[in-house]
Structure 1
Amino acid sequence: MRQSNTAAAILADGKEQLMKAGREPHAAELFLMDVLGLSRTQLLIRLREPVGEDERNRFFAGIARMAAGVPLQYVTGKEEFCGRLFTVTSDVLIPRPETEELVLGALARAGRIWPAKGGLKMADIGTGSGAIAVTFKLERPDSDVTATDISSAAIRVARENAEQLGAEISFLEGDMAAPLAGTRWDIVLSNPPYIDPEDKAGMSDTVTGHEPHGALFAADRGLAHYRTLAASLPDLMSDTGLIGVEIGHDQGSAVRELFRVAFPAAFVEVVRDINGKDRMVFCEIKQQ
């Protein structure tokens, strides 16, 4: 390890440690920015300045965790989603850009279907960190948002994010759509577990070793929760409604068919993400 205590020196050491462990070295720069509370531009300006002992210790402790495979977001305890910082712990999945596309796609469709309607009842099934529910509520304040999760620990994280970001949301604990029974919903969004357990061996240990498996994997080649949603949502949706789910890149046809059967008169489409992969299925239900 280099003897200098400048930001440049400890950053170089951090990158070297991550590279030796087979990890992404750029994470060292992102983490140092977080430790010092600086933007990238500010860090570049201050690279020759010394870093205090407490900050150095915190930095190298975090580097050691990342070298062992802990994701950067679990080390910092936060991740950005649609321009807002969300608290994340190992009890919830780390929000990802693909899920941002699901929310933005839902907001665009809701704006077209209900351009002026207030009081839209929206549910986020399997909320995790609350990223979907909180973002929808803040972008569409006139909506009445409820978030569910089977994990009480996840609900605690989601509730904390809602409070920190000023989003008024109701939280219900339970499996999939079960807590939503007895009410009609205009919009239902979900990013359910959808990875085939058979694919686990080929995944990074930063994911399989640290993110909650209950939020990652699903039986029936990853389709189990879509079958549950397709079976339960017809009794819960309003006459005019919108369902949006995130999917695996090879599940588009199967999930689309599940919702076509469940909602024969609906318009069901598979939507690709920014990388050109099938990533979302939207089901627009129209009053007959």
Structure 2
Amino acid sequence: MNTYHDLLKEGKERLVAAGGTDQEAMLLLNELCDHKGINLYMNMEEPVDADVQTDYLEDIHRMEKGEPLGYVLGYERFYGYDFDVNENVLIPRPETEELTGQVLMISDSLLEKKDHPIVFDVATGSGAIGITVSLENKDLDVYASDISKEALEVAHHNNEKLRGSVVFVQGDMLDPFIDRNMHCDLLVSNPPYIPRNEKMDHSVVDYEPNVALFGGDDGLYFYRKIFEKADQVLNPGGIMAFEMGWDQGKRLKDLASHYFPDAEVSVLQDINGKDRILIVETKKKTIKKETQDDSKK
């Protein structure tokens, strides 16, 4: 009979041959064992549980075809919480955890100035950012939006499962907040920012929702949409925090400075030293429209 070591070896060989990694094979088996109360590392040379073996080999087959691990498992761990995911939402990524950490630090400074600062999570997807923020700091009032009804169903489910306190509204970017005359002290967003024609791994393009990936010809379309209407939702001195592509730092900093000439705009690097987070600290509710040439998409 196969041992867990034998099963893992087969999974690693098959995934690597299909373009995957050893680590994915290990993570998958560890998660399946954990659900059965089996300590994989303590039982490597023990005979494999039949159900674990069946599920593992079926899941390896799905991953050989390119399906991401998060969709195979049905959840992704984010900031210490398990967020359910499906084909209607992006799988939360480590870069977004770093954005969430920055948001929580900013929230701490806001709490020194007022009780219950209001946070908007724009284009929330699975709800990972907004729900995490609400769980990590109970003194924040968090609202989240998404244009996709299907995505909001996933976010609602995660909010209930994890006992978050987020209020969700459906609509395009800032429009649902504007329509309700709502305002915030902190706006956070991980919008679609991949340029339309950029080459992507098929496991991303074929499985994850394209509407949540691509941001126009230059990748900045949705940042423009937010900047153009941000003065309608930000309280005086409001702060915005965004995730962005590693090569978009200068362009986004220039774009934000164009719209908010009185703001303090900064670009932060991720753990790998790549530009990843844009922070816009406004001082006045001053906004400048782009010229026709600037706004080409």
In the superposition, the TM-score normalised over structure 2's length comes to 0.91
Q: Answer whether contact 1:246 1:279 (CA < 8 A) is retained.
A: yes
Amino acid at match of 2:243: E
Contact map agreement 2:196 2:217 (CA 8 A) in 1: no
Determine the C-alpha separation between the residues in 2 that align with 1:169 and 1:260.
30
Distance in 2 separating the partners of 1:265 and 1:110: 21
Deviation at 1:153, TM superposition (A): 0.9
- The answer on 1:233 being equivalent to 2:233 is no
Q: Deviations over 1:154-208 (max 9, x none)?
A: 11111111111111111111111111101121111000000012212xx221111
Match of 2:277 in 1: 280
> Which shows bigger deviation, 210-219 or 4-13?
4-13
TM-score, with normalisation over the residues of structure 1?
0.93
1:1-288 alignment to 2 at 5 Å?
A: 4-37=1-34, 42-115=39-112, 117-181=114-178, 182-200=181-199, 203-286=200-283
User: Structure 2: where are the runs of 5+ without partners?
Assistant: 286-297
Which aligned segments of 4 or more residues in structure 1 are displaced greater than 6 angstroms? none
What secondary structure does 2:24 align onto?
A: helix
How far is the alpha carbon of 1:96 from its aligned partner? Answer: 0.8
Determine if contact 1:123/1:145 at 8 Å carries over to the other structure. Answer: yes
Q: Any gaps of 5 or more consecutive residues in structure 1?
A: none
Cα pair 2:88 2:208 within 8 Å, conserved: yes
Contact 1:234 1:263 in 2 (8 A): no
The structural deviation recorded for 1:262 is 2.2
**Root-mean-square deviation (CA), in Å?**
1.8
The one-letter amino acid paired with 2:275 is D
8 Å CA contact 1:234, 1:262 repeated in 2:
no
